[in-house]
Each structure stands twice: as C-alpha cells, then as structure tokens.
Homo-oligomer: A and B are copies of this chain.
Amino acid sequence: MTDAANGIEPALLHPIGVIRSTIGTRAQAPRQGSEGAPDAWLEVGAAVARGLHGIAVGEDILVITWLHQGRRETLEVHPRGDTTRPLAGVFATRSPDRPNPLGLHRVTVRQIDGNRLRIGPIEAIDGTPVVDIKPVLTDAER
C-alpha cells in the first residue's frame, strides 16, 4: 500500500493570534458555535495585523484555530461523544481529536478594535491559538 504521507516534511504553524473567551475548559465548550457558544475576542499579533485590512464589521469570516488540547493519536470517535453511535473515522467528523487538530469556525465580525476582532458565536476555549483567517466564498466561487 502506498504510504503517501511518508517522506513529506512537517510544517511549522506560527500562531497569528489567540482567542479570548469566557469558555475556560473543553468540558464547558459547546460542540459547535451554533449550539449556544458566546462571542469572543480574536487578538491578532501586531506583526501580522496588516493582514486584517479589508475585513469589515457584519461580515462572516472563517477562522482556523489550533485546538491545542486535541488528542492527535485519535483516529476514530463516537460522533458527538454519543457511545450509542458507531465509531466513525475522525476525518468524517468535526472531533477536536484528530492528527492535526485544526478547528474551522464560521463566525460573524461584530466589532473591530485595532488588532482585535469581536467575533462569534465560537466554541473555542480561552487561549486557543488562531492560525489563519479567510473570507467566506460565494457559492459560485467554491
């Protein structure tokens, strides 16, 4: 069997910012932003803050986080932690436990204050590193 991923060099993610949230622990976090998550601050590092130019209040954006408490050795989970459901591969779920624990969050920009964005709703816990921000594409573009 081909082992495609062997021999490809690992890449180093440098966080561009951090989530400041009232959610302190993973146990307190809803499973998705739409499930009662609060708004939070996304504090962007001064060195990359120029990259925010063009983001406007009221828009939806995609925030990519590094779910630093994710268990990277996990390959199968019971969806939504429900043990009555059969195991599924992590790539067929949004589990934070996965080989590269990237979180993908579609949020609305509520406010912009210098290099801080008020965004939400978002289920990421306080201190979660942010690694990228992207615009939402229209259906025609995606």
Contact = CB atoms under 8 A, between A and B. Distances in A.
Interface of A: 1-6, 8-18, 32-34, 43-48, 50-55, 61-62, 64, 66, 68, 75-76, 87-94, 98-100, 102, 104, 106, 114-116, 129-135, 137, 140-142
Contacts of A53: 76, 87-89, 92
Contacts of A5: 14-18, 43-45, 47-48, 129-130
Taken together, the copies of this chain in the complex come to 2
Nearest to A48: B99
Contacts of A8: 15, 18, 129
A125 B80 CA distance: 34
Question: Looking at A4, A104, A134, which has the most chain B CB atoms within 10 Å of its CB?
Answer: A4
Contacts of A9: 15
A91 B132 contact: yes
A104 B64 CA distance: 10
A91 B51 contact: yes
Given A64-B64, A64-B104, 7 more contacts: A2-B43, A4-B115, A11-B129, A16-B91, A33-B142, A54-B92, A100-B131
